[in-house]
Amino acid sequence: MKKMLAVLLVTVMSLGIASMVFAQTDEQAEKANKVRKTVKSKVGDATMMPAPEVQLKRLTEGLELTAEQQKQIRPLLDDEYAKLKALQRNENLTPKQIQKIVEEHRAETIAKMQAFMNPEQKEKLEIISNEIKANKQQRMRANRKARIGTNAEPPPPVSK
């Protein structure tokens, strides 16, 4: 009788602990969804990158693209922009997943664009891309400092 009571007590306690763990997991998922929706509402219709016509204008000026090159590159920019708009509406992805996909799309588009460029233009594009990446990293550091304090430095990179 005592053994049955002890087994019953242990079972009830195990079920209670399991339900608490699942409740916390549900709360965490609910919080994550709430944060995701808040970010989406604050971002609104903001774009991840300039519209194709703006990008094409910048590329034309910076790389001195010919009219023929512009005709060839425009569809690539339109396609990339459409993919990013669809990605922006996807609520199931985390910011890190979105960033990874954006970087993959951008690398793919740049590789396709380079097929229409001469070596000099490719070199200029590489320099511009590196400057953009450096500026992005500086903005990210500044945003991180603003979030966690002005004297805070980012954590050192983790070696693998």
pLDDT in tens, 3-31: 777 777 778 777 777 666 666 667 777 77
Alpha-carbon 49 to chain mean position: 12
Predicted confidence band of residue 46 (pLDDT cuts 50, 70, 90)? low
Whether 121 maps to a domain, the answer reads yes
Average pLDDT over residues 122-142: 85
The total number of structural domains in the chain stands at 1
Predicted confidence band of residue 74 (pLDDT cuts 50, 70, 90)? very high
Whether 70 maps to a domain, the answer reads yes
Whether 155 maps to a domain, the answer reads no
Whether 104 maps to a domain, the answer reads yes
Whether 89 maps to a domain, the answer reads yes
Q: What confidence score (pLDDT) does residue 8 get?
A: 73
Whether 152 maps to a domain, the answer reads no
7 vs 112, residue with greater confidence: 112
Name, in order, each residue with C-beta under 8 angstroms of 97's C-beta and a sequence gap of 6 or more. none
Domain containing 118 equals 48-141
Q: What confidence score (pLDDT) does residue 98 get?
A: 86
C-alpha–C-alpha distance, residues 115 and 73, integer Å: 10
Whether 100 maps to a domain, the answer reads yes
